[in-house]
Amino acid sequence: MAWSYLPHNEADRRAMLDAIGAASAEQLFADVPADLRLTGGLNLPPALSEPELTNHLGALAKINADLRNMSCFLGAGAYDHYIPSVIDHVIRRSEFYTAYTQYQPEISQGYLQALWEYQSMICEITGMEAANASLYDGGTAVAEAAMLACAASGKKTVVMAQAGHPHYREIFQTYARDKDLEFRLAPYGDGLTDLTGLRELIDDSTAAVAIQSPNFFGCIEDLKGIAEIAHARGAYLIAVVDPVSLGLLEAPGALGADIVVGEGQGLGIPLSFGGPYLGFLATTEKLMRKMPGRIVGQTTDNRGNRGFVLTLQAREQHIRRDKATSNICSNEALCALMAAVYLSALGREGFREVAAQSFRKAHYAYRALTSLPGCEPVFSGPFFKEFAVRLPSPPAEINKKLRRVGILGGFDLGGPYPGLENCMLICVTEKRTKGEIDRLASEMGAML
């Protein structure tokens, strides 16, 4: 088998072996133990023609379940929103799909403008003054925002809400370990951050308070009140948001947030088995020079023409890495482009409609499920598109039965939240129809 890696012509094979000083092809593999070498042919079926292979792979693919043939009520940070077909048409253009870093603006104006438009739209929906050209995902964005706040304030303590995404907290704790930052966890009650407990955790060493709203339970936090609590002790407020919710809810910038971050997967990016996703980060002009990652700016060339460049580049990320707020020098440009196309395609009214439909359908599902015997609401506060219900049996058992009838059920809250055993987090986006919601209620009713 070793000969298959060499030229087919005997003279060419001998010439190559002579050039590298090998007596035979077998000598090339002398370091591989004999019992690990392939001595015979591979145990493979006969070759297939292209049509036969296509049919065979199609048959194998049908064994897998996917969201084309299942109704999805699972969220918890990754959401089944509708993706307009125009997104795929745009991102598959070779100048976008194969582009890398836009260090040479003279040949990258198209991509630079697209990222500048992305930043502008993120600023508009968050109510902030500056945004970067994206980060790896929502969890990374939270950690980077916390480090930004620590660097800007010169303080070492960050308070995070327990009602926030548990994975986001874990990512920050991983970052904090090497940065010697202190982490404090604010308790929750009835699905919302306990403001009394939060006040007790904030002191003069607190750099920032990170609050997710809607939080991991889907409940809408009092960002304005929490901003006042944080600012009273000289701490920044980091608002972690679902961007789709901002089609209905007031922009966190208007509520006092200093930094706004979140997961942008819901903005036209496929679920894709967990990634790649999109972390967005926006902040005030005061904190702009501390932002991690890339920032695209608008300028004019020496002829007065409008142009776009990577700006604020002479920063610690590039030239004094030992003093850096962050060492992230990359981004998710293709995912950011998808978000920009999504927001452009929907427009202001379409974006609001996606949020409104998600809200209305989630509340319809809430009423349908909580009317079932044995299915009770867990929290009483207002929610956006996710809500928790308490069940008489483990969610894993119910989800297993739901999958058999083509329904992907909710998230089991018992794992990350002791005390919420037998509680399921249900998500409803604009894609779910009344028929799908009614069928979920009917199937769960039969099980309960």
Say whether both 97 and 166 belong to one domain.
Answer: yes
* pLDDT of 1 higher than 50: no
Cα 194 to Cα 200: distance, rounded to the nearest angstrom = 10
Residues 361 and 355: their CA atoms lie apart, in Å, by 10
Do 326 and 355 belong to one domain?
A: no
Among the residue ranges 18-27, 332-341, 361-370, the one predicted with the least confidence is 18-27
Element at 236 (helix H, strand E): strand 236-240
- Examine the fold and report which residue of 325, 342, 359 is the final residue of a domain before the chain moves on: 342
Domain boundary (282, 317, 342) is at 342
Whether residue 136 is found in the same domain as residue 235: yes
Angle in degrees, CA 102, 105, 109, rounded to 5: 90
Same domain membership, residue 234 and residue 283: yes
What is the average per-residue pLDDT within 422-439?
98
Euclidean distance between CA atoms 215 and 425, whole angstroms: 12
Is the same domain home to 227 and 373? Answer: no
Which one, of 288, 294, 261, 282, lies nearest residue 143 by Cα? Answer: 261
Whether pLDDT at 321 is above 80:
no
Beta pairing, strands 259-263 & 279-283: antiparallel
Same domain? For 360 and 314 the reply is no
Both 210 and 275 in one domain: the answer is yes
Tell whether 131 is covered by a domain: yes
Q: Which residues pair with 309 in a beta bridge?
A: 297
pLDDT for the residue numbered 331: 82
CATH number of the structural domain spanning residue 158: 3.40.640.10
Residue 198 near residue 232, CB atoms below 8 Å: no
Least confident of 68-72, 155-159, 353-357: 68-72
User: How many independent structural domains does the chain possess?
Assistant: 2
Q: Among 318, 342, 366, which residue terminates a domain?
A: 342
Which band of pLDDT confidence, cut at 50, 70 and 90, is reported for residue 314?
Answer: low
So what's the pLDDT on residue 114? Answer: 95
64 in any annotated domain: no
pLDDT of residue 443: 97
Q: What is the mean pLDDT of the chain?
A: 93
Query: What confidence category does residue 240 fall into, taking pLDDT thresholds of 50, 70 and 90?
Result: very high
Domain, as residue range, for 274:
85-342
381 plus 332 within the same structural domain: no
- 326 and 215 co-located in one domain: yes
Give percent of the chain with pLDDT exceeding 90: 77
**Cβ(366)–Cβ(375) below 8 Å:** no
Instruction: Using pLDDT thresholds of 50, 70 and 90, give the confidence band for residue 8.
Output: low
Instruction: Give the CATH number of the domain where residue 435 resides.
Output: 3.90.1150.10
Same domain, 355 and 328: no
pLDDT exceeds cutoff 80 at 347: yes
- Residue 89 Ramachandran class (φ > 0 left, ψ -120 to 50 alpha, else beta): alpha
Please tell me the distance from the alpha carbon of residue 367 to that of residue 322, in angstroms, as a whole number.
Answer: 55
Handedness of CA 186, 188, 194, 197 (dihedral sign): negative
Global pTM reads 0.88
pLDDT for 369 equals 98
